[in-house]
Amino acid sequence: MRRRVHDLYEIWAAAVRDLPSEHPETDLDFESWKRDDLEHPDLSDEGSFVALAGDRPVSLAFLTVDPARRLAYNQMTATLPDYRRRGLALMVKLASARWAAEAGIERLLTENDEENVGMLAINERLGYRPLYDQRGWAVELELPSAVPDESARSDESKRSSSV
């Protein structure tokens, strides 16, 4: 499936644009995604699943695996907008979970924004349970004066993780 690299990127890019986040992803270019996600050394070809509509990839669940710790991580689950609410994300994420169980993986970790109701609903149906809350902090420095005075604002976003 890796040879369908542009189709996979299309799914990923559409998904990232729709991710609820206080700090939207701006690094959306193809080469960055290919280097950081598709060529991630821990990405499992066997544990990652893609749903096809005819010949077209329309939904994916990418899984990275740490066999030594018997741990796997749901790197990205996404469905093209025109194909949502047909059970595809549930299906590919379930396929990943089944593969992981058969491969001896003991824990599956996933991280989602607490406002991502769709993904949280899927996680709940698959049996994931909350593990920890994660907050991210950012300081926005206004140029040209980069002095952290009252013009520097702190911001906070919250994610939740489950296993």
Ligand X SMILES: CC(C)(COP(=O)(O)OP(=O)(O)OC[C@H]1O[C@@H](n2cnc3c(N)ncnc32)[C@H](O)[C@@H]1OP(=O)(O)O)[C@@H](O)C(=O)NCCC(=O)NCCS
**Tokens for 123?**
């996680």
The total of other beta-carbon atoms located within 10 Å of residue 147's CB is 9
For ligand X, the closer of residues 92 and 105 by Cβ is 92
CA distance 123 to 126: 5
Among positions 10, 114, 118, 126, the unique one binding ligand X when judged by CB under 6 A? 118
Using the contact rule CB under 6 A, the part of the chain among 24-32, 83-91, 132-140, 153-161 near ligand X is 83-91
Using the contact rule CB under 6 A, the part of the chain among 25-33, 78-86, 137-145, 150-158 near ligand X is 78-86
Contact 64, 75 (CB under 8 A): yes
Contact 124, 159 (CB under 8 A): no
Specify the residue for token string 């924004």. 113
The reply to whether 159 sits near ligand X by the rule CB under 6 A is no
Among positions 122, 128, 160, 162, the unique one binding ligand X when judged by CB under 6 A? 122
- The residue ranges that bind ligand X (CB under 6 A) are 15, 18-19, 59, 76-79, 84-90, 112, 116-119, 121-122
